[in-house]
């Protein structure tokens, strides 16, 4: 990234406001569009803490619509970079809060009657489910440990390096975590692995049906499995799933297709991510913007008919990239807007407060939603929150 080409600066933050600035100076030397843009001005529900105009600048670029192509291109890259940096900053803040509060420690232990399977999303790290899985298995409950499964084989570790014999899986094991062979793989590839993994879990537990929490793109992978006739899932909760796509995927795809190397490096992207990003691009208008996801959504009724029950959960409170043509940011979890989570005709439950996409499984409210939807039996009452200091 060239020095001074693009900078994101944060201003002061109040209870309901925060300023984010994009500095385009030297992005295209000599351009009349070099400017400092107040990103917070582009959010429909968060007021800036001070007037959006920055002294000495024009601060007028509110949308890439009706702009010269090179400016639209620059703004698309800028929106990607701003999204990534804001997402990272908010992730650090949220993680610090969760490390301090340890919200799941105060939640009740539960007893699971049916195997519970955690399905990850695109580039999800195995530790994303650590707190949830540890809570469900603490004190020896529900088998006493998380059982990891990759493409139908069981493992003792989240890196899937130490394979376990199916006979070594505890007879009372109830908590399973799927580890994809490739964390960057698209839903249609992951669905093949889910078919083998779900069947392996059914064989080792003797359970005809599984409860599944599908996180992020994992919801699309699970839906593709159902779309192909899969019958192993009983109840499905989709958490932060872009069932109608997300602008972030479109931004990331643009950066890769334009071969903007420094932005790709910043986002950890490679050409190999394109198939997954194609799946998660926004569905707009007649669906031609994302034919695969549009086709999957057109058959949602058939997928739902193979389930006992389903549930979609979203989060809000963070700047989240909005669809092209309007404000650049909207309400969501930093990656997926609230209005993009539900499959067609499905009412979405929205978690309260500021919730970060990457850390949704560490939140107490998510855990309570799991208890409610899956009908788990609490063995104790939630602990009272610590007194304010």
Domain of residue 209, residue span? 103-378
Number of domains in the chain: 1
Q: Is 271 domain-assigned?
A: yes
Q: Is 191 domain-assigned?
A: yes
The whole-number pLDDT of residue 372 equals: 98
Q: How far apart are CA 330 and CA 332, in angstroms?
A: 7
β-strand partners of 167: none
Q: Is 56 domain-assigned?
A: no
Q: Is 24 domain-assigned?
A: no
pLDDT band at 58 (very low <50, low <70, confident <90, very high): very low
pTM assigned to the model: 0.83
- Contact call for residues 242 and 341 (beta carbons, < 8 A): yes
Tens-digit pLDDT profile for residues 243-274? 999 999 999 999 999 999 999 998 999 999 99
Tens-digit pLDDT profile for residues 2-57? 223 334 444 444 444 445 455 544 433 443 334 454 544 444 333 444 444 433 33
Tens-digit pLDDT profile for residues 324-383? 877 889 999 999 999 999 999 999 999 999 999 999 999 999 999 999 999 999 997 655
Q: Is 5 domain-assigned?
A: no
Burial class of residue 66 in the structure, from the number of CB atoms within 10 Å of its CB (0-12 exposed, 13-18 middle, 19+ buried): exposed
Q: Where are the beta strands (DSSP E) in 24-109?
A: 36-38
CATH number at residue 183: 3.40.50.1820
Residue 210 scores a pLDDT above 60: yes
Tens-digit pLDDT profile for residues 98-115? 999 999 999 999 999 999
Q: How far apart are CA 196 and CA 218, in angstroms?
A: 15
Q: Is 42 domain-assigned?
A: no
Q: Is 206 domain-assigned?
A: yes
Q: How far apart are CA 10 and CA 29, in angstroms?
A: 24
pLDDT band at 67 (very low <50, low <70, confident <90, very high): low
Q: Is 315 domain-assigned?
A: yes
Beta carbons within 8 Å of 115's beta carbon, 6+ residues apart: 173, 174, 175, 176, 201, 202, 205, 207, 210, 211
Percent of the chain with pLDDT over 70: 80
Q: How far apart are CA 340 and CA 145, in angstroms?
A: 34
Give how far the C-alpha of residue 284 lies from the chain's centroid of Cα atoms, to the nearest Å: 20
Mean pLDDT (the chain) is 85
The whole-number pLDDT of residue 72 equals: 76
Tens-digit pLDDT profile for residues 271-315? 999 999 999 999 988 888 999 999 999 999 999 999 999 999 999
Q: How far apart are CA 91 and CA 95, in angstroms?
A: 6
SS3 content of the chain, % helix, strand, coil (to 5): 40, 20, 40
Q: What are phi and psi of 118, to 5 degrees?
A: -100, 120
């Amino acid at each position: 990234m060239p020095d001074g080409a693009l900078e994101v600066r944060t201003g002061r933050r109040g209870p309901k406001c925060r300023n984010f600035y994009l500095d385009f100076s030297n992005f295209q030397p000599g351009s009349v569009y070099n400017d400092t843009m107040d990103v917070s001005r582009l959010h429909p529900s968060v007021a800036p803490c001070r007037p959006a105009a920055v002294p000495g600048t024009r601060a007028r670029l509110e949308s890439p619509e009706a702009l010269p192509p090179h400016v639209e291109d620059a703004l698309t890259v800028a929106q990607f970079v701003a999204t990534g940096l804001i997402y990272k900053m908010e992730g650090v803040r949220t993680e610090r809060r969760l490390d301090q509060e340890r919200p799941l420690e105060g939640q009740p232990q539960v007893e699971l009657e049916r195997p519970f399977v955690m399905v990850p999303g695109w580039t999800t790290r195995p530790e994303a489910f650590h707190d949830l899985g540890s809570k469900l298995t603490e004190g020896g409950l529900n088998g006493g440990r998380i059982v990891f499964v990759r493409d139908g084989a069981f493992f003792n570790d989240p890196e899937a390096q130490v394979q376990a014999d199916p006979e070594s899986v505890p007879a009372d094991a109830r908590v399973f975590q799927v580890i994809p062979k490739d964390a960057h793989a698209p839903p249609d590839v992951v669905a093949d692995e889910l078919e083998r993994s779900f069947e392996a879990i059914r064989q080792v537990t003797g359970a005809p049906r599984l409860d599944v929490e599908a996180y992020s793109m994992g919801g699309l992978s699970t839906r593709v499995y159902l779309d192909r006739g899969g019958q192993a899932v009983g109840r499905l909760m989709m958490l932060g799933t872009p069932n109608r796509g997300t602008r972030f995927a479109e931004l990331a795809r643009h950066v890769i297709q334009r071969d903007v190397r420094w932005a790709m490096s910043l986002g950890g992207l490679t050409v190999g991510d394109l198939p997954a990003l194609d799946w998660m691009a926004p569905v707009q208008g007649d669906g031609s913007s994302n034919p695969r996801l549009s086709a999957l959504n057109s058959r949602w009724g058939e997928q739902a008919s193979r389930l006992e029950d389903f549930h979609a959960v979203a989060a809000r409170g963070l700047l989240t990239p909005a669809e092209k043509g309007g404000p650049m940011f909207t309400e969501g979890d930093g990656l997926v807007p609230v209005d993009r989570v539900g499959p067609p005709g499905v009412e979405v439950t929205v978690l309260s407060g500021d919730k970060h996409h990457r850390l949704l499984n560490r939140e107490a409210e998510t855990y309570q939603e799991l208890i409610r939807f899956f009908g788990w039996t609490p063995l104790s009452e939630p602990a009272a929150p610590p007194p304010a200091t």
